[in-house]
Amino acid sequence: MTVRDQSQGATPQEIPPAVTGVAHVIAAARYSLGGLQRLMGETAARLELVAGAGTGFLLLVLGASALQLAAFAILFALVLAVEALNTAIEVLTDRISPEWSVQAKHAKDLGSLAVALLIFSNVLCVGGILLSLFG
């Protein structure tokens, strides 16, 4: 079975057969790495990665506890996960609605809000950790 990818000029592409077991796990890991590679093409994700790694390193140097570091790491991972979902929303929105529309704007704005709320949560987490260390 073939499908035409209109974004690439209608070149037929084979749909890969379904896999199970260990092959499925390997394929899923490959898809995740592809997603990470695509996400790193986004400036916002690269900036978030640099800020998160730097903040994590700073917290480690300042003597944050293992629990504090774990809480920060979880929230930081969630920022990248939601950034990936936001990017997916943007890609799909651009695909199904290439012209400007209020619905597309709302979809993109809501994805952006989700990322912003998690970044705010990270800032609060880091603030709480710093207060516990120096307050």
> From residue 86, how far is each of 79, 107, 108 by CA, in Å?
10, 9, 7
Within this chain, do residues 70 and 112 fall inside the same structural domain, yes or no? yes
The DSSP code for 62 is T
Annotated ligand binding at 101? The verdict is: no
**Angle 33-55-114 (CA atoms, 0-180°, nearest 5)?**
60
- Specify the pTM: 0.84
The DSSP code for 42 is S
Q: Tell me the CB-side half-sphere exposure of residue 4, using CA atoms within 13 A.
A: 4
Within this chain, do residues 29 and 49 fall inside the same structural domain, yes or no? no
Exactly one of 52, 72, 80, 83 is catalytic; which is it? 83
**Annotation marks residue 83 as catalytic:** yes
Which tens digit of pLDDT belongs to each residue from 61-103?
999 999 999 999 999 999 999 999 999 999 999 999 999 999 9
Total number of domains in the chain:
2
Within this chain, do residues 35 and 99 fall inside the same structural domain, yes or no? no
Within this chain, do residues 98 and 113 fall inside the same structural domain, yes or no? yes
pLDDT of residue 56: 98
Whether 9 has a pLDDT exceeding 60, the answer reads: no
